[in-house]
Amino acid sequence: MGSKARDSRQAILDRLRSREVTPVELPAIFGDDSISQVAIGFDDPPTQFAGTVEAVGGLCLQVGSMQEALNKLEQDEVYRDAARRCSLVGDEIPGNVNLQEIEDPHDLSSLDFLIARAEFGVAENGAMWITDRDIRHRASLFITQHLALVVSRHSIISNMHQAYERIGQPETPFGVFIAGPSKTADIEQSLVLGAHGCRTLTVFLVDEPA
């Protein structure tokens, strides 16, 4: 493959260079206007965010503290029934699976509940940004039966332009926007929650510094 692949690389580039195409300037995202002038913004992004999370199939709970989040969790049947729980949000919420002790992500196949922290949330679509900075196995986000995400209400921004401004340049190999539980509509356009990823998504919109 080696030399042939190099040949193809050169062949493709040569082929592309053989045809001069009229240049087109790369536009600034909204020309001379600022994002806040053009893109949709919300007077109260956390409230809009909470509504959108529910619209995309998640459950959004507004809480004052992590203790309150734990209290809500303990009232939740899904959480109570979960045998294998993993918490990545600190000691306030305990877990019995430690990601750091797991070598192979396949061993997470029986994970019932994962609670993790998102860096920020986006009001226009209910998406939350999570990277693998503090998550040893990114598979845990997708393989868990149920997922809870904690996000500060002060981190909620209006739109995706602000989101990518905030991300800047990716420093870790993996980052994901998650909006709602896993879903499919591939059987006659009937919406079914829980395709391959989490069956439920609970969002704790917590009133603590971003």
Partner 1 sequence: MATVSEHPEKAAAYIADRSRSRWHDGALWFVRSKRDRMAHSLPEWERLRSTASQIKAHTIANLPEILQQFEANAKARGVHVHWAADAQEHNEIVLEIIRKQNATRVVKSKSMLTEECHLNPHLEVNGIEVIDTDLGERIVQMRGERPSHIVLPAIHIKKEEVGETFAKYLGTEPGASDPQYLTEAARQHLRSKFLEAEVGITGVNFAIAETGGFVVCTNEGNADLGASLPRVHIACMGIEKLIPRLVDLSVFVRLLARSATGQPITTYTSHFHGPRPGCELHIVLVDNGRSRIRDSDEFRSALGCIRCGACMNTCPVFRRSGGHSYDAVVPGPIGSVLSPAADTKQHRSLPYACSLCGSCTDVCPVKIPLHHQLLTWRQQIASQGLLPVSKTAAMRAGSMLFQHPRIYALAGALGRRALRWLPKSWIYNRANPWGLDRDLPEPPVESFRSWWQTNRQGTSVDEGMKSKEAKNGK
Using DSSP bridges, classify how beta strands 85-87 and 59-63 pair: parallel, antiparallel or unpaired: unpaired
Task: Figure out which of the listed residues 48, 155, 158, 159 binds partner 1, where binding follows CB under 8 A.
Answer: 159
Residues between 26 and 45 that touch partner 1 (CB under 8 A): 26-27, 29-30, 38-40
21 interacts with partner 1 by CB under 8 A: yes
Strands 113-117 and 146-152: parallel
Token look-up 């493709």 returns 12
Question: Whole-number minimum distance, CB 136 to partner 1, in Å?
Answer: 9
Letter for the amino acid at 54? E
Residues 44 to 103 in contact with partner 1, rule: CB under 8 A: 52, 55-56
Closer residue to partner 1 (CB): 128 or 206: 128
The minimum distance between CB 30 and partner 1, in angstroms, equals 7
Number of residues engaging partner 1 in binding (CB under 8 A): 75
195: contact with partner 1 by CB under 8 A: yes
> Phi, psi (5° rounding) for residue 144?
-65, 145
Sign of CA dihedral 76, 54, 44, 115: positive
d(CA 58, CA 179) in angstroms, rounded, equals 8
Told to check if 166 binds partner 1 by CB under 8 A, we report no
Which one of 82, 115, 143, 156 is in contact with partner 1 (CB under 8 A)?
143
Dist CA 176 CA 13 (whole Å): 32
- Which residue lies nearer to partner 1 by CB, 27 or 209? 27
Q: Which helix (H) or strand (E) holds 61?
A: strand 59-63
Of the listed pieces 43-51, 80-88, 113-121, 139-147, which binds partner 1 according to CB under 8 A? 139-147
124 binds partner 1 (CB under 8 A): yes
Angle, CA 166 vertex, CA 161 and CA 167 arms, to 5°: 100
Closer to partner 1 by Cβ: residue 4 or 75: 4
